[in-house]
Structure 1
Amino acid sequence: MSFYIFARAVVRTILKPLYRIEVIGAEHFPKNGGVLLCSNHIDNLDPPVVGFTCPRPVYFMAKAELFKNPMSKKLMESIQAFPVKRGMSDREALRKGLKLLKSGEVVGLFPEGTRSKDGEVGKGLAGAGFFALRSDAHVVPCAIIGPYKPFRKLKVVYGPPIDLDEMRSNKVSAEQATEVIMAEIKNILEANRS
């Protein structure tokens, strides 16, 4: 955890002034309990930016390829990332994510699974809905509003937790839950563009 705190401070020091990052809605973020943090994905810098703007430490899923090299594996683990194979059918990653959520941690996901080419919110993968339905975690939507251009303002907007209790009790599909999450991210994005 100590390297994570150090890395987070370094990233904040460099990126916050460079991209004039404005954080909106951090007060919505639950102070306790498991949180599934779902954000749109527009740039490779999204994970560190969400990581330092989030009020609590975040465990991110990262593509398994980043864990193949021993050096990058060590770095990924030290910043609380865990591997997931593309396509979200990786049982080990799903188990790890659920375990973290159930133990009260924050798990960060980019449900689209890949970066958006045009800055618009794309279709989310079912993994987000799976975690949302299978855990009792708060589900917090987040929108990163770019572009990443030096000294141009970048916004990171956290919305209030999405109430999925009815969806959980009605046993809806993971795909349906993901659609609700993605719609909320899109609403935040559209409401805060300027």
Structure 2
Amino acid sequence: MRWIYWFGWTLFGSAYRSLFGLKVIGREHLVREGSVLIASNHESFLDPPLIGTLYHDEMFYLARKSLMTTPLLKWIYLAWNSIPVDQDRPDMTSLKTIIKLLSSGRRVLVFPEGERSLDGVIGVAQPGVGLVAVKSNAVIQPIRIEGAREALPRGSGRVRFTQITLHIGPAIRLTEEELAAKGSHGYQRIADRIMETIKAL
């Protein structure tokens, strides 16, 4: 683990445990070896580093380009393994980057909904996560976040020190039929399966 990543990992890990009473349920299901596509619901800006604290080595995240407003912020995000996403002009670049990382044995976090929930209700998954799952054939780690929205709601700059819980489910492995899926409908079915698994945790 590089020092800059270790610094953020230590800082956030300490904050989540001491300020938010972080609780982890199902830690025994955590896949620690090989390429892993981590899929989670999205409640808050707190979510990416929150899930990152579960692992003792580096992982990769998606981050909006609009967050990288200064050279310093851009350097920090990239140093913490963020993959820039242009939400104004979406293309396949970020998905190709994720597939390449997974194919090389790395760990990547995605939020299938594509955006933070406004009301805490888990939304509909986008087909892109199904495409990534098929093309990479990576193990899929489902995680449900609970309490992060209450701690830092979308559209609010006020942090509330409420408990956050992470529910970790057994790994998902695609069937041979699912791995042969093609087109948006096929990818959507896989994305829906992943999202339903997260909801059930």
Q: Percent identity?
A: 32
The aligned runs of 1:35-54 (5 Å cut-off) are 35-54=36-55
* TM-score, structure 1 as length reference: 0.89
1:161 counterpart residue number = 171
Measured against aligned partners, the alpha-carbon deviations of 1:8-58 in whole angstroms (never above 9, x if no partner) come to 001111221111110122221222211000110111111111111245422
* TM-score, structure 2 as length reference: 0.86
1:19 counterpart residue number = 20
- Report the CA distance shift for 1:23/1:187 in structure 2 as closer, same or farther (over 3 A): same
Cα distance in structure 1, aligned partners of 2:145 and 2:55: 12
Contact 1:141 1:184 in 2 (8 A): yes
Structure 2 stretches lacking a partner, 5+ long: 152-158
For the aligned residue pairs, the C-alpha RMSD in angstroms reads 1.9
- Report the CA distance shift for 1:185/1:64 in structure 2 as closer, same or farther (over 3 A): same
Cα distance in structure 2, aligned partners of 1:36 and 1:112: 15
Structure 1 stretches lacking a partner, 5+ long: 189-194
Contact 2:113 2:124 in 1 (8 A): yes
- Report the CA distance shift for 1:25/1:3 in structure 2 as closer, same or farther (over 3 A): same
The aligned runs of 1:1-194 (5 Å cut-off) are 1-54=2-55, 56-86=57-87, 89-146=90-147, 147-148=150-151, 150-171=160-181, 173-188=186-201
2:53 match: secondary structure: helix
Q: Which amino acid aligns with 2:122?
A: V
Residue 96 of structure 1, CA deviation: 1.1
- Report the CA distance shift for 1:51/1:118 in structure 2 as closer, same or farther (over 3 A): same
